[in-house]
A and B are shown apart, each in its own frame.
Chain A
């Protein structure tokens, strides 16, 4: 018996509480008629208590109101051992840290499957655990004809060295782009997080924008997510770290509810595509904050349902704080550097202006700017929108009218028509985004750094500019 009086301490069953294998809950009504149901996750509260999420008022709830006794069966997803908890329903919580922690997870899944408001936590039902027994013989002798277990146990950890490595790279970074790239590389090297993404908060449009990623290829860059939407948007809005194991199963569960809800005729929103791995089984996302200000979100995914545990959550928060401070420092540094760069050149007299020379041969690209939403398409494909879209249009316009190819960050900051916020304008991140989107969609048009706070527009081939009111 441990201090809590249980033969198996609940704290030793951490893997059972990660929601990877559904648990069973049996209850009985006042007449002793049994009811049994699956629950997606049993939450560890403390050494004597667990909690179940209540999303619907169901038979289990009704039974517990007249008979508080419950039998809960949990499964370890690594060893596949089973444990039975004899428990007594003691209270429901509809506010407070436990409720909020359980609610966040449900909000994220609901938002991701277009079920916000329909699929939500009504209460956290808290149970006192009176006895725990290991179910002997649940798993027999493993057959030897098929090699390999489904889940790999956690590997050797060198987190402290990893933290040191990440810190060094943040400190050595010369600019925001190299900071983000090297940090994600370090997370891969030191922690084995091979699918990661940083989304920065764009206060001007109130969205998160994917600015840097590792393991996904270039396609996800520029993806926008509103605060409160999906996993990353919910983490950003709530300001809380979220770790979900068994993500694939949670999404299947939510989609079952979505299907049932649609059959009932209730409206549901279109599902938001998950940025990143289509077959992710676990995810860890955390807000990047400097004091109370949201800088962005750091997210990691894995096909391994047990990739992230409580320890990862803890040290990744340390890494996250350093990344947030690093991003902030890079923005400050960029502004300081730009102050030292001479302002925009005096406007060229009209008589001296020379439109850019278009080559006779080579690829031809058509850029179209839609004024109603500041959106730029290239060759009929979406390229970029909002402030980076306006910046691109300004650069291309200057090039086409006057043949200009050299620009400074400072002149962009001084141009009110671009709509950059007066403070914390994130210009550097917007230029990174623009550069990367051009690399993906039109590599013949490039932004090339020419020194601190300066860059050039390098164009190969012919470019046509078209401006329209709307699509």
Chain B
């Protein structure tokens, strides 16, 4: 599912990741993520959400299981949206901390190239975090332009 080089490129570290959900009545919520990591199987991702800012999103995931994740390169706006279902939601543990810190550092490197100071971006909420493991159903191209919304992978 996520083995395609182009898809992996737009899901790599250092990119800006956001998550969208909806509750049982269809009311949407969204929040920023610290980042995501593609599973070794290339069938799913683990996305890290700051506990402080993701309460509504986590509640929606617990209720409906559905998740939309956008990963975008702030420099050239190349973007993908992946959609899938919750496999597991857990509080990120000590073993996740180096991963989360690395994601934040890589994001800060990227944001610095578009004018945001590392001091500021390293201060973004990131810990404690939820680790949301998602099985990916579909991948869409979401780079701004006429091809935005095109299905890249999935049914």
Contact = CB atoms under 8 A, between A and B. Distances in A.
Given A24-B30, A143-B122, A259-B145, A248 B115 contact: yes
Interface stretch (B2-10, B20-28, B38-46): B20-28
Contacts of A255: 76
B119 A137 contact: no
B53 A138 contact: yes
Interface in B53-93: 53, 60, 64, 66-70, 72, 75-79, 81, 83
Most B Cβ at <10 Å: residue of A38, A143, A305: A38
A71 interface: yes
A32 B145 contact: no
A338 to B, nearest CB: 51
B52 A146 contact: no
A361 interface: no
Nearest to B76: A256
Interface of B: prevailing SS: mixed
A142 to B, nearest CB: 5
Contact of B28 (A28, A38, A138, A264): A28
A261 B117 CA distance: 32
B146 A143 contact: no
Contacts of A315: none
A35 B83 CA distance: 8
A37 B147 contact: no
A59 B28 CA distance: 14
Interface string A23-34: 011111010111
Given A82-B53, A137-B125, A253-B77, A32 B119 contact: no
B70 A38 contact: yes
Contacts of B30: 24-26, 36, 71, 73, 84
Contacts of A362: none
B26 A148 contact: no
Contact of A139 (B68, B78, B123, B144): B123
Interface in A123-145: 135-143, 145
A36 B32 CA distance: 11
B154 interface: no
Q: What interface size band does chain B fall in?
A: 35 or more
Contacts of A58: 148-149
Contacts of A35: 20, 28, 68, 81
A38 B22 contact: no
B147 A260 contact: yes
Most A Cβ at <10 Å: residue of B28, B115, B122: B28
Given A36-B30, A260-B147, A139 B115 contact: no
A255 B77 CA distance: 9
B101 interface: no
Given A26-B20, A139-B124, A146-B117, A260 B143 contact: yes
Contacts of B76: 252, 255-256, 259
Contacts of B64: 32
Contacts of A137: 50, 52-53, 125
Contacts of A32: 22, 24, 26, 64, 66
B114 interface: yes
B70 A149 contact: no
A136 B122 CA distance: 17
A252 B18 contact: no
A264 B68 CA distance: 26
Contact of B119 (A70, A149, A264): A149
B60 to A, nearest CB: 8
A36 B68 CA distance: 6
Contacts of A24: 18, 20, 30-32
B144 A253 contact: yes
Contacts of A80: 120, 123
B119 A142 contact: yes
A134 to B, nearest CB: 11
B117 A149 contact: yes
B26 A67 contact: yes
11 contacts: A32-B64, A33-B68, A36-B20, A36-B68, A69-B26, A137-B52, A139-B125, A148-B117, A149-B120, A150-B115, A256-B145
Nearest 9 pairs of A and B residues by beta carbon: A36-B20, A260-B145, A137-B52, A256-B77, A28-B22, A26-B30, A26-B20, A26-B28, A146-B119
